[in-house]
């Protein structure tokens, strides 16, 4: 267990250590105020949502593995869990909802009929917790997605159904932003694609463009709503062609001034998402990130402090782009304690950004400009062994949240008091 005095002492030593390299740790901590991570609702209940008690996850290669006891099965339980997560995190964050997470009151509401009233209780909850919201249409786990095509479907009735759904989502998201006083990002991802090699890729992509044009025909104030589109390389059942490829959505976003969502699980394993950030920011004012940990492909594991997340954070900080990049999470692991998955992943993202803020960027640039590549490399290696962990512990301390391994104890206590009783109730039922 870590006590307050030892944390302060460790930070004082770390501060001195970094100061010898010309790095101000207090300033680095101050920069963390600009990092507002959007927590994803689907980690809390394995992408089940609240449309019906027997909802089944289908379409788009989405798969949740594991059945750890105690998952949220009601809106109240999910909110309780998210409040516990927020309690264990330094900083101010956001919450990202999919359309299937509405407060439907056991009423059958189809996707093209959802309204703001189904999300008003979420807005009220967000106000109470002083957080912003983000939103996503849900174009999977529905009979009208069974063919593998939604917004790019050649069946006009199906295509129009999904166009109306996304229009409803944009209207809801804009009202959320208006009421909360912070813009809501509405991110469009669809599972559309082909398992085997298609002949007519062109028509599906033309239909997707047509659908997006229809969806975005109505404009909302940017202080209420920001639109994003998200590509994918492939999914299970859509291995040979994904309609919404990176080329398609990047071109659409640039031409129509929409945000591109870069999910670091949606590219080939040899591609580096961090390397894409400074490229797309030359042509877009703002982008969205979905941060995950792919294992061989888009398997959405809990984020860890690895090379990939370090590069993503470094590229944003080095480009002075914190106000141009919106950071959200996208993973779901049902094999471990879901609260632990949230907190461990989010803290890993925070540590990556703090690590980036603790770089002497100008000095490293100076080495680069003068061809001193050995010195640049040597400094980057030296920074890996500096006591950035002590700086993050202090950041937690001054934000009055559990420090170091203490958060593990907090989650174990929550499991004993809340999750275990929840699991016992499920067994009795």
Q: Which of 56-65, 223-232, 415-424 has the lowest mean pLDDT?
A: 56-65
- Calpha distance 351→389 (Å, rounded): 8
Q: Is residue 427 assigned to a domain?
A: no
pLDDT at 425: 61
Name residues whose C-beta falls within 8 Å of residue 109's C-beta, 6 or more positions apart in sequence. Answer: 51, 102, 118
Identify which has the larger pLDDT, 179 or 55. 179
CA angle 214, 220, 221 (to 5 degrees): 155
Are 164 and 210 in contact by the 8 Å Cβ rule? The answer is: no
Instruction: Note down the domain range covering 172.
Output: 35-357
Mind listing the pLDDT tens digit for each residue in 209-249? 999 999 999 999 999 999 999 999 988 888 999 999 999 99
- Calpha distance 259→281 (Å, rounded): 10
pLDDT at 61: 63
Q: Is residue 425 assigned to a domain?
A: no
Place of tokens 């009423």: 107
Beta pairing partners, 119: none
User: Which two tokens mark 351?
Assistant: 């540590």
Buried b (16+ CB within 10 A) or exposed e, 156-184: eebbebbbbbbbbbbbbbbbbbbbbebbb
Mind listing the pLDDT tens digit for each residue in 121-168? 999 999 999 999 999 999 999 999 999 999 999 999 999 999 999 999
Average pLDDT rounded to a whole number, residues 97-126: 97
Reply yes or no on whether the pLDDT at 427 is more than 60.
no
Average pLDDT rounded to a whole number, residues 190-217: 97
Average pLDDT rounded to a whole number, residues 41-54: 90
Average pLDDT rounded to a whole number, residues 91-108: 96
Burial of 272 (0-12, 13-18, 19+ CB in 10 A): middle
pLDDT at 426: 57
- Calpha distance 52→70 (Å, rounded): 19
CA–CA distance from 208 to each of 115, 216, 303 (Å)? 24, 12, 31
Q: Is residue 242 assigned to a domain?
A: yes
pLDDT at 100: 97
Q: Is residue 25 assigned to a domain?
A: no
Collapsing DSSP states into helix, strand and coil, what is residue 265?
Answer: coil
Q: Is residue 375 assigned to a domain?
A: no
Question: Among residues of the chain, what percentage have pLDDT more than 70?
Answer: 97
Q: What CATH number did the domain enclosing 197 receive?
A: 3.20.20.150
- Calpha distance 245→198 (Å, rounded): 15
Q: Is residue 23 assigned to a domain?
A: no
Mind listing the pLDDT tens digit for each residue in 7-40? 999 999 999 999 999 999 999 999 999 999 999 9
Place of tokens 């950035």: 388
Torsion sign (Cα): 125, 34, 90, 274: positive
Mind listing the pLDDT tens digit for each residue in 318-362? 999 999 999 999 999 999 999 999 999 999 999 999 999 999 999
Q: Is residue 351 assigned to a domain?
A: yes
Place of tokens 């044009």: 213
Q: Is residue 278 assigned to a domain?
A: yes
Q: Catalytic amino acids?
A: 189, 230, 232, 263, 266, 290, 298, 300, 330
- Calpha distance 68→1 (Å, rounded): 27
Q: How many structural domains comprise the chain? A: 1
Q: Which of 38-42, 67-71, 295-299, 323-327 has the lowest mean pLDDT?
A: 295-299
pTM tops 0.75: yes
- Calpha distance 171→115 (Å, rounded): 8
């Amino acid at each position: 267990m870590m006590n307050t005095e030892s944390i302060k002492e460790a930070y004082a030593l770390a501060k001195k250590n970094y100061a010898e390299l010309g790095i101000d740790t207090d300033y680095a901590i101050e920069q963390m105020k600009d990092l507002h991570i959007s927590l994803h609702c689907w980690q809390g209940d394995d992408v089940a949502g609240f449309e019906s008690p027997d909802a089944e996850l289908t379409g788009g290669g989405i798969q949740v593995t594991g059945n750890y006891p105690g998952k949220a099965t009601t809106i109240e339980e999910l909110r309780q869990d998210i409040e516990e997560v927020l309690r264990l995190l330094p900083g101010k964050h956001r919450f990202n909802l999919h359309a299937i997470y509405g407060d439907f009151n056991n009423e059958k509401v189809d996707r093209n009929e959802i309204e703001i009233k189904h999300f008003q209780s979420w807005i009220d909850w967000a106000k109470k917790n002083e957080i912003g919201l983000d939103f996503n249409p849900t174009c999977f786990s529905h009979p009208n997605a069974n063919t593998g095509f939604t917004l790019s479907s050649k069946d006009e009735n199906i295509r129009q159904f999904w166009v109306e759904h996304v229009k409803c989502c944009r209207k809801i998201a804009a009202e959320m932003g208006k009421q909360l006083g912070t813009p809501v990002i509405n991110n469009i991802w669809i599972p559309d694609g082909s398992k085997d090699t298609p002949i007519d890729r062109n028509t599906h992509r033309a239909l997707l463009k047509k659908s997006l044009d229809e969806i975005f025909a109505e404009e909302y104030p940017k202080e209420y709503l920001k639109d994003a589109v998200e590509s994918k390389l492939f999914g299970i059942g859509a291995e040979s062609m994904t309609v919404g490829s990176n080329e398609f959505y990047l071109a659409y976003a640039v031409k129509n001034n929409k945000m591109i969502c870069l999910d670091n699980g949606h590219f080939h394993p040899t591609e580096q998402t961090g390397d894409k950030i400074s490229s797309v920011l030359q042509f877009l004012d703002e982008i969205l990130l979905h941060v995950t940990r792919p294992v061989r492909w888009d398997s959405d594991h809990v984020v860890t402090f690895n090379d990939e997340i370090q590069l993503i954070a470094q590229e944003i900080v080095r480009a002075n782009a914190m106000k141009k990049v919106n950071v959200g999470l996208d993973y779901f692991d049902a094999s471990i304690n879901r609260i632990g998955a949230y907190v461990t992943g989010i803290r890993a993202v925070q540590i990556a950004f703090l690590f980036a803020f603790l770089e002497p960027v100008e000095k490293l640039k100076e080495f680069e400009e003068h061809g001193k590549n050995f010195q640049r490399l040597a400094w980057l290696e030296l920074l890996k062994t500096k006591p950035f962990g002590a700086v993050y512990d202090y950041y937690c301390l001054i934000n009055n949240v559990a420090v170091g391994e203490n958060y593990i104890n907090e989650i174990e206590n929550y499991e004993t008091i809340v999750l275990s009783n929840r699991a016992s109730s499920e067994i009795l039922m």
